[in-house]
């Protein structure tokens, strides 16, 4: 047995961080437009909902499960929230709470299907993906209040605007909240019972059950927490998307799940880190934002995300194979 190698250099999270820096450098050198503050601003704007979904889905992935309903779910909740505001005059804050609550409800549903009824995770959540997409498309496209409209204050959660019009200064304070949330969830993963048992379920479910852990409960909770974050993501999505379109959202889960795998979650479960997810998402976001600037159609990004996902998983599988010998 080799001595443990715990140098920073072999930590995937660190390597991914280097990739983030390298990508930023490459895009900045290749494109003048990329270097502008506005680019950074929009990159961050559009990263929040992806990141929130990714933080959530990190937990199911650690248990060797998955949640495919995060993308359509998020859009569905944002639509419902929007229509509550527009059609029923509901205060924005209530609409936001409804989003989160809906996330928790669908999360619980997923959790029960998987943890209690033992359906395969990808199949159960593929169904809830369809169901949320279907529910979403029952609502009409409804914009949440704009920044200057009544209730527009919620935009300031993610982006603080001082002044008005073209000369306004905008500060991406959402990033700060994200950092705090990432740290909080990293703490939850590593220092609470919930986090510990999430890892235990992914690593060796049987041993966890034999140690007297209520495996079913924690398995359901994993999906509840995931749903909670999808609910939060819905509010971030509403803040950056002028009009949420019904029937969309499919495919958004790919960016989030891709980011988590880039961040180093193990394909066979048992290992993952929210910090990893954090850096992983920014690799995806940089590709998404940066590629058009160097002349690649935005659609290349879809292909590249697919390939990145496969490569990230392959690296993990090969590492594990090597470790087995």
Partner 1 sequence: MEKLKQNPIVKKLGLNRILLVGILIVMFVVFRAVLGSKFPIVDSIKSTLNYVYFLGFLSLGVTFVIATGGIDFSIGPVMFCCALISGYCMTSYGVPCALAMVICILVGLCFGVFNGWLVSYMSVPPFIVSMASMNIAKGLASVFTKTQSVSWPLGSDPENGWFRNIVSYNGFPTGLVIFLLFAVLCGIILYRTKPGRYILCLGSNSEAVRLSGVNTKKWRMLSYIICGTMAGIAALFFVATYTTVQPGYGDQYNNEAIAGCVMGGTSMVGGLASIGGTVIGVCIISLLQQGIMAFGLGKGQQMIITGIIVIVAVYADVSARRRKN
Partner 2 sequence: MGEVILTMKDIDKSFPGVHALDHVNFEVKRGEVHALMGENGAGKSTLMKVLTGIYQKDSGSITYKGKEVEFHNTREAQDAGVVIVHQELNMVGDLTVAQNIFIGREPKKGFRIDDKKMIEDSRKLFRELNIEIDPREKMHNLTVGKQQMCEIAKAISHKAEVIIFDEPSAALTEKEIADLFVIIRDLREKGLGIVYISHRMDEIKVITDRVTVMRDGGYVGTLITAESSKEDIINMMVGRVIYEDPKQHSMVAPDAPVVLKVEHLNAGKMVQDVSFELRKGEILGFSGLMGAGRTETARALFGADPKQSGKISIMGKDGQLREVTINSPQDAVKYGIGYLSEDRRRYGCVVQKSCIENTTLATMEQYTSGLLINSAKEKEVTEKYIKELATKTPSADQLVVNLSGGNQQKVVIAKWLTRDSDILIFDEPTRGIDVGAKNEIYKLMNKLAAEGKSIIMISSEMTEVLRMSDRIIIMCEGKVTGNIDISEATQENIMNKATRNID
Among the listed residues 35, 86, 170, 196, the single contact to partner 2 using CB under 8 A: 196
270 near partner 2, rule: CB under 8 A? yes
101 near partner 2, rule: CB under 8 A? no
**Least distance to partner 2, CB of residue 123, Å:** 20
Half-sphere exposure of residue 253: CA atoms within 13 angstroms, side-chain side: 28
# residues near partner 2 by CB under 8 A: 22
64 near partner 2, rule: CB under 8 A? no
Return the number of the residue (30 or 210) whose C-beta is nearest partner 2. Answer: 210
**Least distance to partner 1, CB of residue 198, Å:** 19
Which parts of 63-82 interact with partner 1 (CB under 8 A)?
66, 68
Among the listed residues 25, 29, 184, 310, the single contact to partner 1 using CB under 8 A: 310
203 near partner 2, rule: CB under 8 A? yes
Binding site for partner 2 (CB under 8 A): 1, 4, 187, 191-193, 196, 199-200, 202-204, 206-208, 210-213, 266, 270-271
Binding site for partner 1 (CB under 8 A): 66, 68, 113, 117-120, 122-124, 126-131, 133-138, 246-247, 250-251, 253-254, 257, 261, 267, 297, 299-307, 309-310, 313-314, 317
């Amino acid at each position: 047995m080799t001595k443990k190698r715990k140098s920073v250099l072999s930590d995937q999270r660190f390597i991914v961080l280097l990739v983030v820096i390298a990508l930023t450098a490459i895009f900045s050198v290749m494109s003048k437009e990329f270097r502008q503050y506005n680019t950074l601003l929009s990159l961050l704007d559009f990263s929040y909902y992806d990141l929130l979904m990714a933080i959530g889905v990190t937990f199911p992935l650690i248990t060797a499960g998955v949640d495919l309903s995060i993308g359509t779910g998020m859009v569905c909740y944002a639509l419902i929230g929007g229509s509550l505001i527009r059609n029923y005059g509901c205060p924005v804050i209530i609409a936001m709470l409804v989003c989160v609550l809906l996330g928790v409800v669908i999360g619980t549903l997923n959790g029960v299907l998987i943890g209690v009824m033992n359906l395969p995770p990808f199949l159960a959540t593929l169904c809830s993906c369809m169901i949320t997409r279907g529910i979403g498309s029952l609502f009409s496209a409804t914009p949440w209040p704009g920044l200057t409209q009544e209730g527009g204050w919620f935009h300031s959660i993610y982006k603080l605007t001082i002044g008005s019009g073209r000369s306004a200064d905008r500060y991406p304070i959402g990033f700060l909240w994200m950092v705090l949330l990432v740290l909080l969830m990293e703490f939850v993963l590593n220092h609470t019972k919930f986090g510990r048992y999430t890892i235990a379920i992914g690593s060796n479910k049987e041993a966890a059950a034999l140690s007297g852990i209520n495996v079913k409960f924690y398995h359901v909770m994993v999906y509840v927490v995931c749903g909670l974050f999808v609910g939060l993501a819905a509010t971030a999505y509403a803040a950056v998307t002028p009009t949420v379109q019904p029937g969309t959202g499919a495919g958004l889960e790919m960016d989030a799940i891709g980011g988590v795998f880039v961040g180093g979650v193990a394909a066979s479960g048992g290992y993952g880190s929210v910090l990893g997810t954090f850096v992983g998402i920014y690799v995806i976001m940089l590709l998404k934002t940066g590629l058009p600037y160097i002349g690649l159609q935005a659609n290349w990004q879809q292909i590249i995300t697919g390939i990145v996902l496969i490569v990230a998983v392959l690296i993990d599988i090969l590492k594990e194979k090597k470790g087995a010998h």
